[in-house]
Amino acid sequence: MSIRSISRIKNLSGKRVLVRVDFNVPLKGGKVADDTRLLAHLPTIAFLVKKKAKVILVSHIGRPGGKQEPSLSLQPVAKRLSELLKTEVILLPFGIGADTQKKVHALGAGRVALMENIRFYPGEEADDEVFARELSALADIFVLDGFAVAHRAGASITGIARYLPAYAGLLLAKEIRGLSKVTTKSKNPLVAIIGGAKTETKIPIIKNLLPKADSILVGGGIVNTYLAARGYGVGKSLVDTEYKEQALAYCKKRKVILPTDVVVGTADGNNFRVVKIEKKPHEICRKNEGIYDIGPQTIELFSRYIQKAKTLVWNGAMGVFEVEPFSVGTLAVAGMVAEQSKKKICFGVIGGGETLQSMEIVGGLKDIDLVSTGGGAMLEFLAGKRLPGIAVLAQVLPIVH
Ligand code: ADP
Ligand code: MG
């Protein structure tokens, strides 16, 4: 896959560059409550500013459903972004007609504008051709920088790329480069750690990584589902009944390393105990208990694999880390992943909301080579799926400047 990044564009001076970003940040009391997603795009924006482009940022926030919804205005984002960039970010009023075109043309070189919430327009999520073409009239060049939206079709993601020279921004390029080090260019041993709650999104990753990986360590809901399918008594554990067959098939593979002990207890964490998993199915939990974490022996077992990894990828909590004492397994894994990723010989990737949260708790984010901003897009990338936003960039013919 060859994707052209904006760093390859020769002359950006005075060019109108429309950049699709992911500024879908939480708002609280009319302010940005967490600016992580803004920070992730700063390198791309700063690069374009330095090259004297006219930067037009496009994002959605929330789900206004194709209607103007004042509470989902990007005004607070424009304000916070202005502070971060130390330069005024002009919020363009709703509309993509002649008025907006004029405003964009009048932008000074190296200035930054932000369009209003792109999901105020019904044509966005419908990936409407006419809307995409109107949008393209605002710019000379299209840049996709929001990896987190690359798994969706949309006028500002895929549609517009059909009408303009299209490039990957620095964030998107970094994500593709880093994740490709897991999926196609991995240094072995490749060790994947897969946990979390949603079995249906994790099984495709195990399936895709199995041929390349040396070991896949699993925790969380998949393990419960597998144990239930095998006939172990799992009490109130989270089980994905629909995926029993698949969990059974994949967890039986030689490369898939399962917990040898688990922590069971009541959901509130007031009662808990460690239970060894015997070869023959047995009652792991009582009726009022569930499996909420991996056990100490499993942590030790996983550490032996993690310590040997030259490529490491982790998604999904090992247990219900939000409730004590069930955080132990997840935080231990977070610490071990950080320690290994810190080493020069190992390339470490993590992604997913709760996974990032737990890495933050142990203070390991700085040691990870790629902290993916992708969420669902990352899961699909790791599962080997075609991401529409990336596919459309790969298809466009090279443009000579
Ligand atoms: P991420 O957001 O990191 O991709 P997921 O969304 O897949 O991860 O899952 C994270 C959630 O999975 C956590 O909130 C955690 O509480 C839950 N989880 C992990 N193991 C279990 C378990 N054994 N039982 C119930 N929930 C679990
Ligand atoms: Mg999650």
Q: Over the stretch 170-224, which tens digit does the pLDDT of each residue have?
A: 999 999 999 999 999 999 999 999 999 999 999 999 999 999 999 999 999 999 9
Tell how far the Cα of 223 is from the centroid of ligand 2, in angstroms: 17
Q: Is the CB of 292 under 6 A from ligand 1?
A: yes
Tell how far the Cα of 219 is from the centroid of ligand 1, in angstroms: 9
Q: Is the CB of 198 under 6 A from ligand 1?
A: yes
Tell how far the Cα of 220 is from the centroid of ligand 1, in angstroms: 6
Q: Is 37 a catalytic residue?
A: yes
Whether 94 and 120 have beta carbons less than 8 Å apart is answered as yes
- Residue 399 — pLDDT band, cuts 50, 70, 90? very low
At residue 290, the pLDDT reads 98
User: Is the Cα torsion angle 202, 204, 205, 206 positive or negative in sign?
Assistant: positive
> Ligand 1 test: best mutation among 236, 320, 356, most atoms within 8 Å of CB?
320
Q: Is 210 exposed, middle or buried (0-12, 13-18, 19+ CB in 10 A)?
A: middle
Q: Is 391 exposed, middle or buried (0-12, 13-18, 19+ CB in 10 A)?
A: middle
Q: Average pLDDT in the 127-153 region?
A: 97
Q: Is 353 a catalytic residue?
A: yes
Q: Looking at the CA of 220, which ligand is closest?
A: 1
CA distance 203 to 381: 13
Q: Is the CB of 197 under 6 A from ligand 1?
A: yes
Q: Is 376 a catalytic residue?
A: yes
Atom 8 (ligand 1) nearest CA: 316
Tell how far the Cα of 352 is from the centroid of ligand 2, in angstroms: 5
Tokens read off for 218: 């699993």
Alpha carbons within 13 angstroms on the beta-carbon side of residue 143 total 31
Task: Flag whether pLDDT at 65 surpasses 70.
Answer: yes
Whether 21 and 57 have beta carbons less than 8 Å apart is answered as yes
Tell how far the Cα of 55 is from the centroid of ligand 2, in angstroms: 32
219 CA: nearest ligand 1 atom: 20
- Residue 91 — pLDDT band, cuts 50, 70, 90? very high
Tokens read off for 346: 């190992």
Query: What residue has token string 């142990």?
Result: 362
Catalytic residue among 4, 133, 177, 198: 198
Q: Is the CB of 319 under 6 A from ligand 1?
A: yes
Q: What is the mean pLDDT of the chain?
A: 95
Whether 279 and 315 have beta carbons less than 8 Å apart is answered as no
Tell how far the Cα of 373 is from the centroid of ligand 1, in angstroms: 18
Q: Is the CB of 315 under 6 A from ligand 1?
A: yes
- Residue 3 — pLDDT band, cuts 50, 70, 90? confident
Task: Flag whether pLDDT at 398 surpasses 70.
Answer: no
- Residue 397 — pLDDT band, cuts 50, 70, 90? very low
Q: Is the CB of 235 under 6 A from ligand 1?
A: no
- Residue 401 — pLDDT band, cuts 50, 70, 90? very low
Q: Average pLDDT in the 305-312 region?
A: 98
At residue 1, the pLDDT reads 55
CA distance 293 to 148: 29
Tell how far the Cα of 370 is from the centroid of ligand 1, in angstroms: 21
Percent of the chain's residues with pLDDT above 90: 95
Q: Looking at the CA of 263, which ligand is closest?
A: 1
> Ligand 1 test: best mutation among 350, 354, 361, most atoms within 8 Å of CB?
354
Residue 218 pairs in a beta bridge with 194
Q: Is the CB of 196 under 6 A from ligand 1?
A: yes
Catalytic residue among 30, 231, 353, 384: 353
Q: Is the CB of 224 under 6 A from ligand 1?
A: yes
Phi, psi of 41 (to 5 degrees): -95, -5
Tokens read off for 88: 């005024």
Whether 349 and 364 have beta carbons less than 8 Å apart is answered as no
Task: Flag whether pLDDT at 7 surpasses 60.
Answer: yes
Q: Is the CB of 320 under 6 A from ligand 1?
A: yes
At residue 394, the pLDDT reads 83
Nearest to 147 by CA among 163, 164, 169: 169
Whether 260 and 298 have beta carbons less than 8 Å apart is answered as yes
Task: Flag whether pLDDT at 264 surpasses 90.
Answer: yes
CA distance 200 to 214: 22
Q: Is the CB of 220 under 6 A from ligand 1?
A: yes
> Ligand 1 test: best mutation among 200, 237, 238, most atoms within 8 Å of CB?
238
